[in-house]
Amino acid sequence: MNKNSSNIMALAPNTSNKRETVCIFGTGDFGRALGHKMIQSGYRVVFGSRNPQTSSLIPKDAEVLSHAEAAQKAAIIIIAIQRQHYNFLIPLAEILHGKVLVDVSNNLKINEYPESNAEYLAQLVPGAKVVKAFNTVSAWALQSGTLDASRQVFVCGDDMKAKQMVMDIVRALGLTPSDQGSLLAAQEIENYPLQLFPMWKFPILFSLGLTAFFFFYCLIRDVIYPYVYENTDFSFFIAISIPNRICPVLALILLALVYLPGVLAAIIQLYRGTKYHRFPDWLDKWMLCRKQLGLVALAFASLHVLYTLVIPIRYFVRWKMSSQIISQALNNKTAPLNNTYAWLSDSYVALGILGYFLFVLLGITSLPSVSNNVNWREFRFVQSKLGYVTLILCTAHTLVYGGNRFLSPSSYRWYLPNAYMLSLIVPCIVLVVKFVLIFPCLDKPLTRIRQGWERNPQYSE
């Protein structure tokens, strides 16, 4: 029943005796785990080892022979050995001639060696057909069956047929092979499992820095200032009120920073009169992490929405409201409906809702499976057109929220303006410059430059 209750294409145990023999060099943890899984999937497995004696660790249905003997029993040999021991294969070159060698190794650091382990193996045993595979799967995952992340196995190799054979094994083990082309791709495949969200590092560190800055900024304005001047303890603002000031500020700034590099690139291209000169390195890197910046901004916006929606549930808010009502009732007076307030309040909330709604749409379109299903024109339409509309709505949301408080002196405590005022600087700059760039006198030459036209051809590399 285990088989049926799994949602993967695992193979039935009753196909055991139909599969070919596979040889595994090396009886370390990964070799044994792979061997175990292969036996489960119906392969005959022969281990090649320096000390060919069946230890209790080896799966009991497997044979253990010397390297040379084991290699002769199979057409496919999995090299589950560390790179530094590869040279023991040189004397076996004759036996390995024409065999498919599967390199499953990983390194400890990115780009540790000048050439990939698989290419090194191909140099050592020139007569063999080397295929890189399985390095993205962990031994623990293979044995425990919890293969949620690592179902994808990157395969590359120069020999089409050898690659096909390895991909069939991958499928038989219930994994998904992904053909990455020739052995030249091996270096990237070996670097892949060592990465830890490389594209996210900068956006997350940057936003953490900004968060820290605005946290202390708001702490001074909203907690320390009233404590010093009014001797009231609003320290509990740290839990919700201050986060709910920081989140919208960061969401707006980060969203504007997604569109700033595009605007800068346009200015640089207009100034240079060509698109064939490379952008400065920082701009290139910035442009490459725009998606991540945008998603971090969306995370802050979502937190802002949650923090805002819980406002009426908070004890402090309910307390404040009931004391106001009671004092009004005791003073026997009722305030009439202020139409301007009603307009301001409703329109800033409505702008925020629409902005957030479009922001979520942008986020959904950046999901890999969705963005793979739209073409370039559609992607540009969503990320550029809809993106600018989102930025305009969110900026307007903040401006209307400010209302007529921008000029009121009570908004400045110790000469510090409200945090939301600071957050408006970058988006306003982006929107103004973008607005200028839309004018035909600038848009036309820019379009021509992006189609390959050059003002001063000597600029190009």
Residues 257-286 that bind a second copy (CB under 8 A): 265, 275-276, 281, 284-285
| Binder of a second copy out of 74, 122, 137, 251 (CB under 8 A) | 137
| Binder of a second copy out of 113, 216, 229, 343 (CB under 8 A) | 343
User: 322: exposed, middle or buried (C-beta count within 10 Å: 0-12, 13-18, 19+)?
Assistant: exposed
Cα–Cα distance measured from residue 8 to residue 142, given in angstroms and rounded to the nearest whole number = 13
By CB under 8 A, which span of 209-217, 223-231, 366-374, 409-417 interacts with a second copy? 366-374
Residues 386-445 that bind a second copy (CB under 8 A): none
- Is the CB of 72 or the CB of 164 nearer to a second copy? 164
Number of residues that bind a second copy (CB under 8 A): 156
Phi, psi of 76 (to 5 degrees): -115, 125
Angle among Cα 433, 439, 445 to the nearest 5 degrees reads 100
Q: Is 6 in the site for a second copy (CB under 8 A)?
A: yes
Q: Whole-number minimum distance, CB 261 to a second copy, in Å?
A: 10
- Which among 183, 196, 199, 180 has a CA at the least distance from the CA of 110? 196
By CB under 8 A, which span of 69-77, 90-98, 364-372, 390-398 interacts with a second copy? 364-372
| Binder of a second copy out of 62, 89, 189, 362 (CB under 8 A) | 189
Q: Whole-number minimum distance, CB 110 to a second copy, in Å?
A: 5
| Binder of a second copy out of 66, 87, 123, 328 (CB under 8 A) | 328
By CB under 8 A, which span of 27-35, 124-132, 204-212, 437-445 interacts with a second copy? 27-35
Q: Whole-number minimum distance, CB 40 to a second copy, in Å?
A: 11
- Is the CB of 72 or the CB of 302 nearer to a second copy? 302
- Is the CB of 287 or the CB of 428 nearer to a second copy? 287
- Is the CB of 14 or the CB of 231 nearer to a second copy? 14
Q: Is 68 in the site for a second copy (CB under 8 A)?
A: no
- Is the CB of 309 or the CB of 409 nearer to a second copy? 309
Q: Is 208 in the site for a second copy (CB under 8 A)?
A: no
Q: Whole-number minimum distance, CB 182 to a second copy, in Å?
A: 6
| Binder of a second copy out of 350, 425, 429, 432 (CB under 8 A) | 350
By CB under 8 A, which span of 65-73, 374-382, 419-427, 428-436 interacts with a second copy? 374-382
Residues 138-177 that bind a second copy (CB under 8 A): 138-141, 143-146, 148-152, 154, 160, 164, 167-168, 171-172
Q: Whole-number minimum distance, CB 281 to a second copy, in Å?
A: 8
Q: Whole-number minimum distance, CB 425 to a second copy, in Å?
A: 26
Angle among Cα 126, 128, 129 to the nearest 5 degrees reads 115
Phi, psi of 158 (to 5 degrees): -85, -25
- Is the CB of 225 or the CB of 422 nearer to a second copy? 225
By CB under 8 A, which span of 55-63, 88-96, 126-134, 418-426 interacts with a second copy? 55-63
Residues 308-327 that bind a second copy (CB under 8 A): 308-316, 318-319, 321-327
Mark residues 7-26: x for contact with a second copy by CB under 8 A, - for none.
Answer: x-xxxx-xx--xx-------
Cα–Cα distance measured from residue 20 to residue 44, given in angstroms and rounded to the nearest whole number = 6
Mark residues 222-261: x for contact with a second copy by CB under 8 A, - for none.
Answer: -----------x-xxx-xxx-x------------------
